[in-house]
Every structure is written in structure tokens, then in C-alpha cells.
Amino acid sequence: MKVTLTGIDDVNAMLEKIAPRHARNIMRATIHGMAGSIRDDAKKFMSEDTGTMKKATKAKRERAIRGYLWSTVRVHPDAKYWRYREYGQGPDGVADAMFMKAVEIYRRDMDRNFVEQFGKKWEAALARAAKRAA
């Protein structure tokens, strides 16, 4: 049997035909992994004095809306000052722009990031299935 996949839509369509529940779970995990990479990049650009903000920045899996899967990167309300650090509106006037820089990296490497995250999640799903079968 030979299967040729040329894009994200083809992968999703093929998985939906074979195992819809597993496809949705793998795609949800992939999207959450991509949000995690944005979170990690944003933490790299945060100032050293923002230990609270680094701990408070999390990737959150959201509820699917009309079939669209969502994952967001959030900063806990305890670190309210993240906006000042992002946009430079604080007393020092310095803008870190950590989320803007992280999103720029994400946009540049989106395809590579998707393939990497999908590969990890697919491999983990196959390992779990093999473990259950044994």
C-alpha cells in the first residue's frame, strides 16, 4: 500500500478516515506542542529580572470550537506587569517584546515546527498503542 501526503490537510483527512478520535487527539497534542514552543521562545526573550513572569507563562489547551482546535499561551494574572515589559510602557520605557519575537520565530519556522511536533506526537501514540497491544 502506498500513501502520499502533501500537506496538513491531507494528513488530517487521512487520519479522520482511519481513526477520527485518535486523529483529533494527535492534532490537539500537536497544536498544544506548537504553543509550547512559542512559550519556550518567549521565556528565552524575557529579562532576567522576571522570574515570576517566566513561571507564570503557560501554554493552555482550549476547548475546540466548531471543529477548530485551540491552544493559547497565557501569563498568570499574578504577573500583571508583562504588558509593560512587552510594550515598554513601564517607568523605564524598555520594551522586551518577548511574545512578538517568539511569534516571529514561530511564523518563520511554522512548517518545520509542525512536522517536528507531529512526529513526536505520532511516535508517542504508536508507542502507547504497541504497549497496549503487548
Q: Over the stretch 51-89, which tens digit does the pLDDT of each residue have?
A: 688 888 899 999 888 888 889 898 888 777 788 888 888
The answer to whether residue 3 is domain-embedded is: no
The answer to whether residue 46 is domain-embedded is: yes
Structure confidence by residue, pLDDT tens digits, 10-51: 777 777 777 778 888 888 999 999 999 999 999 888 877 656
The answer to whether residue 17 is domain-embedded is: yes
Task: Provide the 8-state DSSP code for 92.
Answer: T
What φ, ψ does residue 61 adopt, rounded to 5°?
-80, 130
The answer to whether residue 104 is domain-embedded is: yes
What's the whole-model pTM score? 0.77
CB distance 59 to 40 below 8 Å: no
Alpha helices in the chain (DSSP H): 8-18, 20-45, 51-56, 82-87, 98-108, 110-133
Q: What is the mean pLDDT of residues 119-130?
A: 85
Structure confidence by residue, pLDDT tens digits, 100-114: 899 899 989 888 988
Query: What's the number of domains the chain is made of?
Result: 1
**Number of residues that this document lists for the chain:** 134
> How many Å apart are CA 54 and CA 26, to the nearest integer?
27
Q: How confident is the model at residue 1 (pLDDT cuts 50, 70, 90)?
A: very low
The answer to whether residue 1 is domain-embedded is: no
The answer to whether residue 70 is domain-embedded is: yes
Query: Does 2 score more than 80 pLDDT?
Result: no
CB distance 22 to 125 below 8 Å: yes
pLDDT at 85: 80
Domain that holds residue 57: 8-133
Which residues contact residue 77 at a Cβ distance below 8 angstroms, ignoring those fewer than 6 apart? none
How far apart, in Å, are the Cα atoms of 63 and each of 13, 27, 48, 70?
21, 13, 33, 7
